[in-house]
């Protein structure tokens, strides 16, 4: 295998098993995979299908017995989220990339299908989030204005409309999301806060949105200029009608490649697009929610 190799076996998310793992990129320092939805990263149960077990089977010679789960996972994705996940193959690479994640120097882009028609082409969501102190919702996060929000921290997300259409006959929109910070459940909380909960998000739909086969959130692109090597990774779009039958786009608002270019030029330090091209609505607290959830019958 070459020192730098891009692999695209085209594994379908519908075939989630120990062999169903797409390798996006591999070098002497990093292994980057396209994580399937509803798959844990690691587990103490040897019978679980996890990214760790999948990588062990594909690359048994890369297992490091000094690591608790055999590999150095330098960041995480939620169980329900699919997409790019990076593993470092040595201590030096792990140290560099981990430091970049902590310093918010890794740029990430996500695709999502959300409930309702998103009217604004571009929105900056600037809402602090923190853990929800509620025993009935363990692990749930919430916005700073929730009465039971604990230790809220600043978070920003650029939210760009790509396509409008329907999911299983109900209004839905495909969006590109660029988080500045990387808080737990940040994208899920921000989408829900502005009235456009992610399709299939069981937790933030208040346990109502159970019909979709998965939560429609995908880690689409990742960029990191480490001192070791440059990472510029992208997967295919999993939210197309051929792969997600209930999703039927009817209007293209902005092609994804154009949206990516505009998002790459967005500067979170001054909340502006370098060179223009984006008419951005800035959302702080108590937004005018353009999507009324009572009109989207996911709870009936």
- Secondary structure element (H or E) that encloses residue 53, with its range: helix 51-58
d(CA 183, CA 165): 29
DSSP per-residue codes, 227-242: SS-EEEEE---S-STT
- Return the number of other C-beta atoms located less than 10 Å from residue 197's C-beta: 26
SS (H, E, C) 107-156: EEEEEEEEECCCCCCEEEEECCEEEECCCCCCCCEEECCCCCECCCECCE
Asked if residue 131 lies in contact with residue 189, where contact means CB atoms within 8 angstroms, the answer is no
Asked if residue 4 lies in contact with residue 30, where contact means CB atoms within 8 angstroms, the answer is no
Candidate list 78, 192, 201, 209, residue with the active-site label: 78
Residue 153, both tokens: 């921290």
Asked if residue 79 lies in contact with residue 208, where contact means CB atoms within 8 angstroms, the answer is no
Respond yes or no: is residue 271 known to be catalytic: no
d(CA 142, CA 148): 8
Name the percent of the chain in helix, strand, coil, to the closest 5: 15, 30, 55
Asked if residue 258 lies in contact with residue 162, where contact means CB atoms within 8 angstroms, the answer is no
Between the alpha carbon of residue 261 and those of residues 109, 229, 257, the distances in Å are 11, 22, 6
Kindly list the catalytic residues.
78
């Amino acid at each position: 295998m070459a020192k730098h190799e891009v692999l695209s076996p085209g594994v379908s998310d519908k075939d989630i098993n120990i062999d169903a793992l797409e390798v996006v990129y591999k070098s002497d320092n990093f292994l980057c995979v396209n994580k399937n939805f509803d798959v844990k990263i690691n587990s103490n149960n040897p019978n679980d299908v996890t990214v760790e077990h999948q990588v062990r089977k594909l690359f048994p010679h890369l297992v490091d017995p000094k690591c608790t789960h055999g590999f150095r996972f330098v960041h995480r994705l939620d169980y329900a989220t699919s997409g790019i996940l990076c593993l470092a193959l040595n201590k030096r690479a792990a140290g560099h990339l981990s430091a970049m994640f902590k310093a918010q120097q890794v740029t990430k882009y996500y695709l999502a299908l959300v409930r309702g028609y998103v009217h604004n082409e571009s929105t900056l969501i600037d809402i602090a989030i923190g853990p929800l102190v509620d025993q009935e919702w363990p692990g749930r996060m919430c916005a700073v204005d929730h009465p039971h929000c604990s230790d809220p921290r600043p978070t920003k997300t650029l939210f760009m409309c790509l396509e409008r259409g329907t999911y299983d006959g109900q209004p839905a929109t495909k969006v590109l999301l660029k988080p500045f910070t990387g808080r737990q459940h940040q994208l899920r909380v921000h989408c829900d806060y502005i009235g456009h909960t992610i399709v299939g998000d069981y937790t933030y739909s208040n346990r109502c949105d159970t019909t979709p086969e998965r939560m429609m959130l995908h880690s689409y692109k990742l960029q990191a200029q480490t001192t070791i090597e440059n990472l510029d990774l992208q997967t295919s779009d999993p939210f197309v009608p051929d792969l997600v039958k209930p999703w039927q786009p009817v209007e293209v608002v902005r092609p994804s490649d154009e949206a990516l270019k505009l998002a790459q030029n967005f500067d979170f330090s001054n909340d502006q697009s370098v060179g223009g091209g984006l008419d951005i609505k800035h959302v702080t607290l108590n937004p005018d929610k353009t999507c009324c959830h009572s009109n989207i019958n996911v709870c009936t």
